Structure 1
């Protein structure tokens, strides 16, 4: 065999700013790709041995390979390579560490095989890896944000379509803080299952609550474009309050949001693992909140938005 290739792809974390978790229910979300953390999947070609997935992310990588294998061009020779993942994304805290690994795996295998990867299709394939190959409950927003990058306004009406994913000007974002518990969280599917089952059963209050959360993203876009931080903060707080009621969140789960509120800031969950995104007023306020979360035993960063995918 001739030259053996080594390839790698990296994918950022993500933050849901408004409207999540309505993406699982055909709703609308504003969010951004988080440049401060990423997952990297490395592919090392071998002379033989087929495909091997190694390391702590082997199950995710294996599911991504099974999905990719179904898309191999006719007559494509059986590939030989080893897949491994490494990540700086805090896991199971609501920053989409697992989906970042899946997207990176699909990208690097697509590069190796020579599969043209349309962004919309890539995001859909990444979702299918988790929902169809692994049987997990998941919505589309994470993969869309991680594939497209930037600050996105996304409507997930059925059928989903790329035309409903709109890049917004990143400069519209106000000062934000992202904070998370460095201890182990829980799988996001666990948090969603009970609510999803109620939705599927047609529960009126669950359906009304999800519609209300989705509507916040529509109002949030206007708030961002008009520079109305007061309104944006109100919407973020309402987003969390709806979620607290729908998911029956206890005082421990709500504590990081209540901390922000005591400090005069708006806050909500980034995803479903407990990490929070906080809207702050100015530099002094930001510093005070960093100190408050540090005293709370949490980590925090001043988030940077990952670049939007070049069109």
Structure 2
């Protein structure tokens, strides 16, 4: 087996294997040029990660799955005895046939973990094949050095229903391109989070400068958002059965979104960081669909950083443009997210956006609204 990135996190694979009550198959998504008839193909439940069917080099149209085994398996000790039983039945069969028998006939609990990368060599290959591909990768890296990955996420304005996203209501909101958070990721030897010179200052011209900057900007800059997003991303991929390659990177951010005025500046940084991580690790929309992505961004802020927030801002920053959102209780309970519909922004009139240059803490103002709503308070006076 030769991975296109030549390296992936074995420790993450072992942790996932130990967390599931069964065997483990590593798989990847076939490229367009690859035929399923040349690989062992797996069908995997997206909810449980259980391998529901294994087909060794299937004929065309026998399965719609494009998920291929990479001949990397983890077996429980007690399962090894099945190998002897299988060889008595099929002494000349391949190892792929053994897994086909385990999954389809014995119906053992077998789970799948995805590697979001390509593979060139699988199965019985010679040393010359490995040498050729290693030379190819080395030349490719020299000729094509890693380019920076940069993404923006935009501020948002709530038009109707705000803040009923936290109370099973309906809202309409839109993103505004005037204000944005931009994150840049570039591959590096070690993982580095670069402080923003204004939002995460570590040097000051004087004690008075420290006083003025701290009074206006506070103590909670964007660096914590980068770190929390990275931590949650690794945790999400591990839980979802996605084995990441062992690559390091440097992250830096910039933003012109006014602070503490309710324009979703924090979630914009998280959203842009997530876009960079997905691109860097080849995580697709199928791996992390848009509705789940909005939940992810919210969880970074609420679970990791204890920021009071709702889904509306994150949904708009994921979908962008003008979005109608229904957060009804039944929808949230059944599917874990609401109903989100993109709308035509051309029907809107022109808007003027006004905000204070020296605002109070918007998060502190909203911090107890949900608790007051849950306790049955009917009106919210100042």
The TM-score bracket by the shorter chain reads: 0.5 to 0.7
1:151 aligns with 2:322: yes
- Structure 2 distance, partners of 1:139, 1:129, is 12
Select which of 192, 215, 237 maps to 2:366: 192
Q: Secondary structure at the match of 1:175?
A: coil
Which is richer in helix?
1
How many residue pairs get matched? 206
Q: Name the residue aligned to 2:346.
A: 171
Q: Against the structure 1 CA distance between its residues 76 and 169, is the aligned structure 2 distance closer, same or farther, given a 3 Å change threshold?
A: closer
- Shift in Å, 1:6: 1.3
CA contact (8 A) 2:186 2:249 kept: yes
- Shift in Å, 1:167: 1.7
- Shift in Å, 1:204: 4.4
Structure 1 residue runs of 4+, over 4 Å off? 72-75
CA contact (8 A) 1:41 1:84 kept: yes
Please list every run of 5 or more consecutive structure 1 residues that lacks an aligned counterpart in the other structure: 207-245, 250-311
Tell me which of the two structures has the higher relative contact order, counting C-alpha pairs closer than 8 angstroms and 6 or more residues apart: 1
* TM norm structure 1: 0.62
Q: Secondary structure at the match of 2:368?
A: helix
- Shift in Å, 1:54: 3.0
Q: Against the structure 1 CA distance between its residues 204 and 7, is the aligned structure 2 distance closer, same or farther, given a 3 Å change threshold?
A: same
Moved more, 7-16 or 158-167: 158-167
Q: Against the structure 1 CA distance between its residues 61 and 176, is the aligned structure 2 distance closer, same or farther, given a 3 Å change threshold?
A: same
- Structure 2 distance, partners of 1:146, 1:109, is 16
Q: Against the structure 1 CA distance between its residues 200 and 8, is the aligned structure 2 distance closer, same or farther, given a 3 Å change threshold?
A: same
Please list every run of 5 or more consecutive structure 2 residues that lacks an aligned counterpart in the other structure: 1-137, 201-221
Structure showing greater Rg: 2
Deviations 1:184-212 (CA, angstroms, capped at 9, x unpaired):
441x33112222221222x1415xxxxxx
Tell me the C-alpha RMSD between the 2 structures: 2.0
* TM norm structure 2: 0.51
- Shift in Å, 1:22: 0.7
- Shift in Å, 1:53: 4.9
CA contact (8 A) 2:193 2:226 kept: no
Select which of 207, 218, 229 maps to 1:64: 229
Q: Against the structure 1 CA distance between its residues 43 and 197, is the aligned structure 2 distance closer, same or farther, given a 3 Å change threshold?
A: same
- Shift in Å, 1:33: 0.8
Q: Name the residue aligned to 2:290.
A: 119
Q: Name the residue aligned to 1:139.
A: 310
- Structure 1 distance, partners of 2:273, 2:149, is 11
- Structure 1 distance, partners of 2:243, 2:350, is 53
CA contact (8 A) 1:9 1:42 kept: yes
Q: Secondary structure at the match of 1:180?
A: coil
Q: Secondary structure at the match of 1:30?
A: strand
Q: Secondary structure at the match of 2:157?
A: strand
